[in-house]
Structure formats: structure tokens, C-alpha cells
Structure 1
Amino acid sequence: MDIAIVGTGFVADYYMTTLPNHPGLRLAGVFDRSPARLGQFRAFHKVRGYESLAALLADPQVRIVVNLTTPESHFEVSRAALEAGKHVYCEKPLAMDLRDAAHLVDLAEQEGLTLATAPANGLSDAHQLVAAALAEGRIGTPRLVYAEMEDGPVFRDKWATWHSRSGAPWPGLHEFEIGCTLEHAGYALSWLVSLFGAVESLTAFSAVTFPDKGPETEKITMAPDFSVGCLSFRSGVVARLTSGLAAPKDRSLTILGDKGSITVRDLWDNRSAVFVEETGAPRKLGTRIVTRLEAKLGRFISWKPTPGQRLPYPSASRAALPNFPSQIDFCRGIAAQAQAIEAGEQPFFAGRRALHITELALALNNANTLPQPYRIVTEF
């Protein structure tokens, strides 16, 4: 199936790295509103470029438009693509406003098209491993979940020197304007919603905790750099999700059930280490040693081995992935969408489910302007 990419910035190279994993996808061409950036991307990847967005949308070969533009451009670009009769795969969030996102979903339904959304880590090998462990009842009924989307003190790093493979600069100032919640919460929300279903309500808090993030940042309006939300799922599960840019890097997920726990070390790793600890099962030697050492020393030891036994993956992986820290198969979501289109089905992370995840991310980011607890209005 032919696809075309709109937006050749930093994240586009992640997609190009993982495109070879999916031979069912063929890149027809790319477009960017910056001629210099477009030329640089084309030269590096040896791909065709369109002279305008209109030219891309007029190409009859293109079935899926991959919207990798900046978040505030998502709505307009996706709407134009849908109105041109194209399926759309959009980076997160679908739109910066829930009404705009709902309009896109309605438009896709009216036109008989699919509107799918990133991130694709909810389709990862690690996710499949965890879903299978839950289905087998390894930890009984899930009750409580802790999800972390802490990206570390990025603003203290030399982010102005970061570039993608093809030379695109990491858009640090713009990332600070959009905020870590809209940029990162979706990685956890895609897992949570796919494993535990729809959210009924959430109670959240967000704030700008570090207003001075270095040179040039005084010129921008800063989005929240910290958010925390407690989500109540209709299934009965309760989850706490934090997103931030100051605490040490932590992208783990811990699921606590009435018969044990599951720990995922890194939600940004397609094949993250996954551990299952079943109640009553013998504990690992390392865990026993640290526990005894604490009792002997009479003090708490902060570092401990991950509880439980590491789950093996059923087979080796040959997938090409970006380097740390974004070891996600970014094109897997597009491939899943293409397969669903061929089968006449709706992709999993599309339509009303995509809208639901968008509402959750917006509600977490905008918590300081919303009534708490916030009742979720979308459903699927």
C-alpha cells in the first residue's frame, strides 16, 4: 500500500528507520513546508518529494497520509487529507482541541476512511507479552497500575546539539511549548487503554515547575512540564500516570493484581524486559539477598532487582529500530492500519478509541483548567 509522509522533521527519521520492517508499505513521497528541510531529507533518504501538500493529496497512488507535522498542525493537515479521500495515520495528539479531534473522527466515519493515531508502542512485542500473561491469569485480576513517563531533566542537557539521522534538529523550544504530557503520555495511555479498556474519570494535576529552561526559553509560553493523573477505568482498574521533564528517566509500567505483579522496564522499548512475580512463588536470589541485607544493616536500600522472573519472548526479533531511547517500531501502526484497510476493518488505535486516548492526554495536560474529577465524555 502506498503511503506519503507530511512533515520531515526529527521524528520522520524514526519512521524511515523502521519502514523496512514492513514490506507491505511503499513510500510514494514526502512533503515539508520547509524547502530546505525537505531537500535535506530527500537527499539523505533518496526519496521523492512533492512540491506542495496539494500535489501530495492529488496523487491517486497514495492511500495513507502519514501526518508527522507539529501538533498544532495535526488538525488542518489531517482534515485536508480526509477531505481528499485519504486514510490518515497521525502522530499524537489527533488535535490540540477535543472538538477538533472529534470533528476528524466524525469526518473519517462519514467518508468511510480510517483515522489512526500514534504511538505504535501499544502494538509492540512487549505489549503482546504482557497481554498474554494477563490473559493467562498469571497475576489474577489487575487492580492497580503505576505508569511512569519521566524523560529526565532534558532542559539541562545539550539538546540544542541533538540532530536526527538526516540532520533535523531536535525542536527543543517547541517541545517545551507543547509540553511533556501531550508529547509523552500517549505512550502509556496506549498501553493502558488497550489492556484495561475505557476510562470513566480521572483526577489530575499539571503545572510548570521549571519556568527557566535555559537560553531562549524566556521567549516562549511554557506548557506544563509535570502532570500526574489517577485514572478510574470502567473495568475497575485504577492507574496513576506521571509525565515529567525533571525527574530521573523512568518509563516503566507496574501492574498489581490480586495474585502477583507484572513489571515492564521501558515502554519505549519494543522488546522491553518484562517480569512476572506470582504470589507465593519463590523469590529471586538477588531479592532475598537485598532483603536480608536491609534487615542486617537496619536501613532501606533504594536499589533492588526487579521483582519476579523475566518472561522470555517466543522468538528472536530482526526488526530495525531507532537507537536508544526510542526503540519503537514507529511504522508498525501504519502497517496495522494498512492491513485493516485491506480487510475492511477498523485499526485498533483508530476512530473512537483514538479520540478517547486524545481526550485523556488533553485532560491530563490541561488539568489546572478543568473541574476535578474530570468525567470522560468519549467512549468506544
Structure 2
Amino acid sequence: MKIAIVGTGFVADYYMTTLGNHPGLALAGVWDRDEARLQAFRAFHGVCAYPDLEALLGDPAVGIVVNLTTPESHYEISRRALAAGKHVYCEKPLAMSFEQAQELTLLARQAGLTLAAAPANGLSDAHDLVVQALRDERIGTPRLVYAAMEDGPVFRDKWASWRSRSGALWPGLHEFEVGCTLEHAGYALSWLVSLFGPVESVTAFAALTFPDKGPGTEALAMAPDFSVGCLQFRSGLVARLSSGLAAPKDRSLQVFGDRGSITVRDLWDNRSAVHLEQVEAPRPLLGRVLNRVEARLGAALLWKPAPGRRLKYPAGARPSLPAFPSQIDFARGIAAQVAAIAEGREPVFSGELALHITELALALNGARELPQPYRMRSSF
């Protein structure tokens, strides 16, 4: 199936890096409202560029429009693409309000089209490994989850000089305005809801903790740079998710069950280290030794290995991935959408599921204005 990309900014190069992993995807062309950025992208990747959005949407060869624009443009671009009869794959979030996101899912359903959403890390090899461990009941019934999307103090780094492979600048100022929760919480939420089902309610807190993010940010209307939420799932499971731009980098997920725990080191790594600890199993030697060292010192060590033993991945081809820290197969979500369309079924992260993830991210980001606990309006 042929796809067309709208938006050739920083994240678009991640999609181009991983497009070759999926021979079933063919890129018809790209468009961006920034002509200089569009031409730089076109020249670097050797792809065709459309003269305008109307030409892209009017191309009968295009089956899926990949919406990689800024979050506040997601609704309008996706709405126009659906109206033109195109399936849509949209970067997160679907829209900046629940009502707009809900409208998009309804438009897609009425038109017999699919509206799928990023992130694709919920389709990773690491996710598959955790799914299998849970299906095998290796930790019993899951009861509690800790998840983190802490990106580190990027505002103290040289972010103004960061560029993608084709030369697009990292949109730091815009990310500070939109907020780390809307930008990053979806990477954890895609795992949580696909593993444990719909969320019933969210009790959240959000705040702007570092209003001074350096030169050039003085006049910005900044979104919260920290949020934490406790998610009550319909299954009874409880999860805590934190997102921020100040604490040390941490993109881990820990699942605690009746008979043990599963620890995923990095949700941004397609083949992240995954450790399984079982209550009845003997503890690894290194962990036992370090516990004795702590007891003898009378102090906690700064570093300890993940609890349990590392799970092995099945043998298989390694996909081409972006460099650290974004080692995600970004195009895998589009490929999964194409496969679902061919088979006449709903793609995994689409429709009501995509709406549910969007509502969760909006609820976490807007915690200061919403009643607590927030009762979810969507389900899947």
C-alpha cells in the first residue's frame, strides 16, 4: 500500500529510518508547509514532494496519510484526510481535546476507514516478550504497575542545536509549550492498555516545576513539565505513571504480580532488557551478594541489577532502528495498519483504543483543571 507523509520535521526521519523494515509499504511522496524543510527532506531521502496538501490528498494512489505534523495540527490534517477517503496514521495525540479526537474516530467509522495512532513501541519485540510471560502466568495475577516516562533535564542540554538526519531542528520550544506528558506518556500508555485493558478512572497531578528553561523560553506559555497519575483499571489492576523533564532519564515499566515481577528497562528500545523475578525461584547470585554488601555497609548501594533473570528473545532478523534513545520501529505501526486493512479487521492501536490512549494523556496533562478522580468517558 502506498503512503504519503504530511510533516517532514524531526520525527519524520525516524519513520524513514525504519520504513525499509516493511517491504509492504511504499512512499508515494511527502509534503510540509515549510518549503525549505520539505526540500531538505526530499533531497536527503530522494523522495517525491507534493506541491501542496490538496495534491497529496487528491492522489488516488495514496491509501494512508501519515500525519506527522505538530499536535495542534493533528485534528485538522486527519479530518481532511478522512474526508478525502484516506486511511490515517497519526502521531500522538489524536487531537488536543477529547471531543475532537472522538469526532475523528466517528468520522473514520462512518466512512469505513481506519484511524490508527502512534506510538508503535506497543508493537515491539519487548512487548511481545512481556505478553508471552503474562499469558504463561509466570508472575500470577498482575496487581500493580510502575511506569515512568522521565526524559531527563533536556532543557539544560544543547537542545537548540539538535538536528535530525535530514537537518530538521528538534522543536524544543514547541515541546515545552505542548508538554512532556502529551509528547511522551503515550509510550507507556500504549503498553498499559494493550496489556491490561481499559482504564476506569485516573487520579492525577500536574505542575510546571521549572518555568525558566533557558534563553528563548521567557515568553512561552508552558505546559506542565511534570505529571503523575494513578490509573484504576476495570480489571482491578492499579498503575502509577510519571512523566517529566527534570528527573534522570527513566523509561522503565515494572509489573508486580502474586508470584513475582517483570521489569522492562526501556520502553523506547525494541528489544529492551526484560527481567523476570519469581517468588519461588532462587535469586541470582549477584543480587544476593549485593544485598549482603548493603547489609554489611549499613547503606543502600547506588546501583543494583534488575531483580530476577533476563528473558531471552527468540532468534530473528534485527530491524533497522534509529540510534539511542529512540530505538523504536516507528513504521511498524503503519505496517500493522496495512496488514489489518488487508485482512478486514481493526488495527491494534486504532479507533476506540487510540481514543482511549488520547483521553488518558489529556487527563494526565490537564490534571490541574479536571475533577479528581477523573472518570474515563471512552473504552474499548
TM-score, normalized by length of structure 2?
0.99
Q: Which residue of 1 aligns with 2:60?
A: 60
Runs of 4+ in 1 over 4 A off after TM superposition: none
Q: Which residue of 1 aligns with 2:11?
A: 11
Q: Which residue of 2 aligns with 1:303?
A: 303
C-alpha distance in structure 1 between counterparts of 2:258 and 2:354, whole Å: 30
Deviation for aligned residue 1:51: 0.4
C-alpha distance in structure 1 between counterparts of 2:282 and 2:154, whole Å: 40
Q: Deviations over 1:199-255 (max 9, x none)?
A: 000100000000000011112100000000000000111000000000000000000
Q: Which residue of 1 aligns with 2:210?
A: 210
Superposed counterparts of 1:100-119, under 5 Å: 100-119=100-119
For 1:95, what is the secondary structure of its paired residue?
A: coil
Q: Which residue of 2 aligns with 1:336?
A: 336
C-alpha distance in structure 2 between counterparts of 1:39 and 1:102, whole Å: 34
Q: Which residue of 2 aligns with 1:73?
A: 73
Alignment gaps of 5+ in structure 1:
none
C-alpha distance in structure 1 between counterparts of 2:318 and 2:201, whole Å: 40
C-alpha distance in structure 2 between counterparts of 1:56 and 1:79, whole Å: 14
1:67 aligned partner, one-letter code: N
Deviation for aligned residue 1:299: 1.6
Q: Does 1:219 align with 2:219?
A: yes
1:215 aligned partner, one-letter code: P
Deviation for aligned residue 1:294: 1.1
Deviation for aligned residue 1:302: 2.9
Deviation for aligned residue 1:316: 3.4
Of all paired residues, the percent bearing the same amino acid is: 73
C-alpha distance in structure 1 between counterparts of 2:214 and 2:2, whole Å: 42
Q: Which residue of 2 aligns with 1:324?
A: 324
1:293 aligned partner, one-letter code: V
Q: Which residue of 1 aligns with 2:363?
A: 363
Q: Which residue of 1 aligns with 2:87?
A: 87
Q: Which residue of 1 aligns with 2:176?
A: 176
C-alpha distance in structure 1 between counterparts of 2:298 and 2:246, whole Å: 31
C-alpha distance in structure 2 between counterparts of 1:298 and 1:353, whole Å: 48
1:155 aligned partner, one-letter code: F
Q: State the aligned residue count.
A: 380
C-alpha distance in structure 1 between counterparts of 2:205 and 2:309, whole Å: 35
Q: Which residue of 2 aligns with 1:197?
A: 197
Q: Deviations over 1:86-135 (max 9, x none)?
A: 00000000000110000000000000000000000000000000000000
1:112 aligned partner, one-letter code: G
C-alpha distance in structure 1 between counterparts of 2:132 and 2:335, whole Å: 22
Deviation for aligned residue 1:304: 0.8
Deviation for aligned residue 1:55: 0.2
Q: Does 1:257 align with 2:257?
A: yes
Say which is worse superposed, 194-203 or 280-289, in terms of deviation. 280-289
Deviation for aligned residue 1:66: 0.1
1:38 aligned partner, one-letter code: L
Deviation for aligned residue 1:355: 0.2
C-alpha distance in structure 2 between counterparts of 1:233 and 1:315, whole Å: 34
Q: Deviations over 1:293-326 (max 9, x none)?
A: 1111112223111110100001133200000000
C-alpha distance in structure 2 between counterparts of 1:77 and 1:203, whole Å: 32
Q: Which residue of 2 aligns with 1:236?
A: 236
For 2:357, what is the secondary structure of its paired residue?
A: helix
C-alpha distance in structure 1 between counterparts of 2:318 and 2:156, whole Å: 35
C-alpha distance in structure 2 between counterparts of 1:306 and 1:379, whole Å: 34
C-alpha distance in structure 2 between counterparts of 1:267 and 1:237, whole Å: 20
Q: Which residue of 1 aligns with 2:34?
A: 34
